[in-house]
Amino acid sequence: MRVEFIDLFVGAAVTVLKDVLGEPVEAGRVSLEMALSTKECFSVSFGLTGDVSGTVLFGVPEKTAMDIASIMNETEFASINEPIVLDSLAELMNMVAGRCVTLLNDRGFNFSLTPPAIFWSRELRICSTDVETLIVPISTDCGDLSVSVAIRVGV
Amino acid sequence: MPQHSMTKTDQEHPYRFLIVDDSIFARKNIAKVVEAIGGIVAGEASNGKEAVDKYFALKPDLVLMDISMPEMEGIEALSLIRKRDKEAKVVIVSALGHEELVKKSLALGAKHFISKPVELNKAAMIIKFVLEQEGEKNEG
């Protein structure tokens, strides 16, 4: 996987999270996994199709999800079950993924993004991917979240 | 009166908007922009197919349309609306903003492009610009 893609995904995530949640937002050290998975409570995944194909998976702990949704909607939520909480999270991740797709397309890669799929479970492992996954932790005032990127170029 | 408030100059009726986005949060957020310019939300749709149906049922002054949606994407909905109504005013509001997509949207008849995350003041200025420009064309 080309490092420039990871840098773009991380850079886009940090920029959008700063725009929406405010400072500070910081990316941590990148790690490598052979499977696309997350142990966080909420996951939002996007498929990429075209010159670049694969999956991007965001993992967000429950408390972080609640805090992010509260900031985005300028209101406190009583329950994680309120549809707007998950929806806000998915929209935030959509903005991050959209920013990445925009940057990569403007660099000459022609591909598109599927609408987000939201998962709510103790652990998520996507078995269909056979490419290595790079995972980047991102810390915010609402808590930590992770971005996992498993993509290939020219498939 | 909100800072960006505007109404149709020939009638004292506020502009009517159709907001199209599959995200509830995004629709609420865009509705804040509409309220800030003194407009009203005539209707909402969560995919392109619903947007086409609601456009012709409600005939809003302006459509604020997302691109990436299930069932039918915003680009296809834009194309279908503009094929049947050459006067339709559609502004794209999307997290996707690459040059090729913007060009394609404009070629299909979109009046402008607003990038997500939506900044209230910037979005209000763009919408006002589009409505004023179209108003001048109609007067001319």
Q: What is the pLDDT of residues B88-126, one digit of tens each?
A: 999 999 999 888 899 999 999 999 999 999 999 999 999
Q: Which residues of B touch A86 (CB under 8 A)?
A: none
- Tell me what pLDDT residue A113 has: 79
- Tell me what pLDDT residue B1 has: 45
Q: State how far the Cα of A27 lies from the Cα of A13, in Å rounded to an integer.
A: 9
Question: Helices B99-107 & B74-84, crossing angle to 10 degrees?
Answer: 20
Average pLDDT, chain A: 84
Q: What is the mean pLDDT of residues A76-92?
A: 89
Q: State how far the Cα of B90 lies from the Cα of B108, in Å rounded to an integer.
A: 10
Q: What is the mean pLDDT of residues B4-17?
A: 71
pLDDT surpassing 80 at residue B2 = no
- Tell me what pLDDT residue A1 has: 56
Q: What is the mean pLDDT of residues B10-31?
A: 90
Considering only CB atoms, which residues of chain A are within 8 Å of chain B?
Answer: 16, 19-20, 72-73, 83-84, 87-88, 90-91, 94-95, 97-99, 101-103, 105-106, 110, 112-115
**Which among A146-150, B96-100, B126-130 has the top mean pLDDT?**
B126-130
List pLDDT tens digits, range A97-127.
899 889 888 888 887 778 788 887 766 666 6
The vertex-B75 CA angle with A57 and A14, nearest 5°, equals: 35
- Tell me what pLDDT residue A48 has: 84
Asked if residue A138 lies in contact with residue A14, where contact means CB atoms within 8 angstroms, the answer is yes
- The residue type found at B79 is S
Contact A73 B25 (CB under 8 A): yes
Q: Suggest the residue from B93, B98, B113 to mutate for an interface test with chain A (most A CBs closer than 10 A).
A: B98
The pLDDT confidence band at residue A148, using thresholds 50, 70 and 90, is: confident
Q: Which chain B residue is nearest to residue A12, measuring alpha carbons?
A: B95
Q: State how far the Cα of B9 lies from the Cα of B32, in Å rounded to an integer.
A: 22
Contact B117 A16 (CB under 8 A): yes
Which residue, among B29, B35, B47, has the nearest Cα to A69 in the 3D structure?
Answer: B29
Which residue would you say has higher pLDDT here, A40 or A147?
A147
Q: State how far the Cα of A136 lies from the Cα of A96, in Å rounded to an integer.
A: 14
Which residue would you say has higher pLDDT here, A53 or B87?
B87
pLDDT surpassing 60 at residue A25 = yes
- Tell me what pLDDT residue A2 has: 63
Question: What separation in angstroms does the CA of B2 have from each of A88, B7, B34, B67?
Answer: 26, 12, 10, 29
Sort residue A118 into left (φ over 0), alpha (ψ -120 to 50) or beta: beta
Phi, psi of A57 (to 5 degrees): -125, 125
Q: Which chain B residue is nearest to residue A70, measuring alpha carbons?
A: B25
Average pLDDT, chain B: 91
Phi, psi of B28 (to 5 degrees): -65, -40
- This prediction has a pTM of 0.87
Contact A105 B23 (CB under 8 A): no
What does the CA dihedral B40, A90, A94, B62 come to, rounded to 10 degrees? -10
ipTM field: 0.85
pLDDT surpassing 50 at residue A132 = yes
Sort residue B59 into left (φ over 0), alpha (ψ -120 to 50) or beta: left
pLDDT surpassing 70 at residue B137 = no
Q: State how far the Cα of A15 lies from the Cα of A92, in Å rounded to an integer.
A: 12
- Tell me what pLDDT residue A8 has: 82
What is the DSSP code (8-state) at residue A129?
Answer: -
Which residue, among A112, A71, A25, has the nearest Cα to B104 in the 3D structure?
Answer: A112
